[in-house]
A = this chain, B = another copy of it.
Amino acid sequence: MLGFCPVSSIIRGVSLLLFDKEFDKEFDREFRGSRLNTDPNKTINVGICGLGTVGGGTLSLLENNRADIEAKLGCSIEVTRVATRTLRPEVIAAFSGAGTDLFDVVNDPDVDIVVETVGGFDPAFELVKTALSNGKHVVTANKALIAERGNELFPVAEANGVTLAFESAVAGGIPIIKALREGLAANRIDSLAGIINGTGNFILTEMTDKQSQFEGVLKEAQDLGYAEADPAFDIEGTDAAHKLTIMASIAFGIPLQFDKTYTEGISHIEPEDILYAGELGCVIKHLGIARRSEKGVEMRVHPALIEKSRLLGNVHGVGNAVVVHGNEVGSTLYSGPGAGAGATASAVVADLIDIARQIQAGASTPFIPALGYCRENEGLEVLSIDEIESEYYLRILVSDVVGVLAGISGKLEKLAISIEAVIQKEAAGNLASIVILTHSALESQLNIAIAEIEAMDEVSGAVKRIRVAGFED
């Protein structure tokens, strides 16, 4: 078809362009239309760095669904280069370009899009940066990299006119990044809250269903392959905090601020807490919560009580779910598998297809507004955990003597923290458990109250405090 696009008309187009804005559109249609038509079956060449669960899953998906994807796109996505540190013979057999030097992928001039599934920072950061600098689009599943070093990478993508896409970095197969960035783009997002770590949700679900202790369930999760040998990343909330940081950045238009995300794990949750939460009509979930108010932005990951009747209270096992509240749409919820080869690859390849469509459409600048472009509210302050307001569940072990509840209530009341519900239960020996659900209070005030309660003679040990999920849905 290229031969049918006469030189004269193009040159006429160019000269007119400088004088006639109207022609601009016509020229675009003719010129770019011709380009597209000349090569409707342009192949998009993909290079994959790392062939673990996600990289391998991506390779399998592209093979399994090849015909469907080609039919949808009108072109094919070919993996032309792979590199992995331990190269198995079947990989060598499948790809003439297979190797162990990851930088060969990002420096290969024939690769259009690099998929980074190496994980971690080193060499992932340099790989992604080099790929972007080489004018390649990058798709990554690396939430740590985006959350902690994305502020350095997005400007490189922008400067090179390429896209750095990361749908798979948050909530696995759920297209939540796309929802925040595009589907809900008309809204001012007020809050979002999610179950964004499948391992943690599996553990809490099992503890709830079987009244089991944390340690036993963690062992079970490790045996099932849901939890790593070193589970800290999941159960201490770091993984969830990475994901929350990324979502908050897009939702509120702020830079990535992982270091300002409050992170609390679930290892201190005991079966009694789950039991008492149940008596209060709630379940305990490990949530990531981001809110925006006049005071500033909250970003926090911690266990929270949530009413059983709410959809987020009904997300069990290794599932993920995110509720987003926008000022016009109200609340929408997205749930699905947060991990696994197929689910994560689904998100990786969705990004590849998006970028392929962008290439096909002849876009010169990234159509996909990447995270790095979310800077419109750069000045919004992130609140410390002391500055948040929440309702609280408090569990206090006390000597079973007259007047102790009155004493505790008095201390809360003095700090203007009012009580919504109380449960009192006999514990072992001469002790009793008092469970208090407070109305909304400032966390710094609650901290004072807890210190005063812990100082009481009748109170044994530390006061257990669990926040109550506070967001619209």
The chain B residue with its CB closest to the CB of A5 is B18
Q: What is the 8 Å Cβ interface bit string for chain A, positions 185-222, against chain B (1 contact, 0 not)?
A: 11110000000000000000000000000000000000
Contact among B314, B337, B366 for A361, CB-based, below 8 A: B366
A186 to chain B, nearest CB (A): 3
Q: Does A71 contact B (CB under 8 A)?
A: yes
Does B364 contact A32, Cβ atoms closer than 8 Å?
yes
Q: For residue A334, which residues in chain B have a CB less than 8 angstroms away from its CB? A: 332-334
* Total copies of the chain: 2
Q: Does A328 contact B (CB under 8 A)?
A: yes
CA distance A366 to B328 in the complex (A): 27
Q: Could you tell me which residues of chain A, from 319 to 333, have a CB within 8 Å of some CB in chain B?
A: 321, 326-333
A20 to chain B, nearest CB (A): 12
The chain B residue with its CB closest to the CB of A183 is B175
Q: What is the 8 Å Cβ interface bit string for chain A, positions 343-378, against chain B (1 contact, 0 not)?
A: 101111110111001101111111101000010110
Does A328 contact B61, Cβ atoms closer than 8 Å?
yes
Q: For residue A36, which residues in chain B have a CB less than 8 angstroms away from its CB? A: 364-365
- Which of A6-14, A147-155, A391-399, A458-466 is the contact stretch? A6-14
Contact among B57, B61, B182 for A178, CB-based, below 8 A: B182
Contact among B32, B331, B369 for A365, CB-based, below 8 A: B32
The chain B residue with its CB closest to the CB of A57 is B328
Contact among B161, B174, B184, B332 for A335, CB-based, below 8 A: B332
A359 to chain B, nearest CB (A): 10
Q: Does A386 contact B (CB under 8 A)?
A: no
Q: What is the 8 Å Cβ interface bit string for chain A, positions 258-273, against chain B (1 contact, 0 not)?
A: 0000000000000000
Q: Does A414 contact B (CB under 8 A)?
A: no
Q: Does A24 contact B (CB under 8 A)?
A: yes
Q: Could you tell me which residues of chain A, from 286 to 331, have a CB within 8 Å of some CB in chain B?
A: 311, 314-315, 321, 326-331
Q: Could you tell me which residues of chain A, from 116 to 137, have a CB within 8 Å of some CB in chain B?
A: 135
Contact among B69, B173, B185 for A329, CB-based, below 8 A: B173
CA distance A360 to B364 in the complex (A): 9
CA distance A61 to B17 in the complex (A): 35
CA distance A329 to B175 in the complex (A): 10
Q: Does A471 contact B (CB under 8 A)?
A: no
Known A-B contacts A65-B328, A343-B328, A360-B365; A253 and B71 likewise in contact (beta carbons under 8 Å)? yes
Does B28 contact A72, Cβ atoms closer than 8 Å?
no
Q: Does A97 contact B (CB under 8 A)?
A: no
Q: Does A420 contact B (CB under 8 A)?
A: no
Q: Could you tell me which residues of chain A, from 87 to 109, have a CB within 8 Å of some CB in chain B?
A: none
Known A-B contacts A32-B365, A173-B329, A361-B366; A186 and B345 likewise in contact (beta carbons under 8 Å)? yes
Chain A residues near B (Cβ < 8 Å): 2, 7, 10-11, 14-15, 17-18, 24-25, 28-29, 31-33, 35-36, 57, 61, 64-65, 68-69, 71-72, 135, 161, 167, 172-175, 178-179, 182-188, 253, 311, 314-315, 321, 326-337, 340, 342-343, 345-350, 352-354, 357-358, 360-367, 369, 374, 376-377
Q: List 24 A-B contacts (CB under 8 A).
A: A7-B15, A7-B18, A28-B362, A32-B365, A33-B161, A36-B365, A69-B185, A72-B374, A175-B183, A178-B183, A185-B349, A186-B345, A186-B348, A311-B311, A314-B314, A328-B342, A328-B343, A329-B347, A330-B337, A331-B337, A332-B334, A361-B363, A362-B365, A367-B367
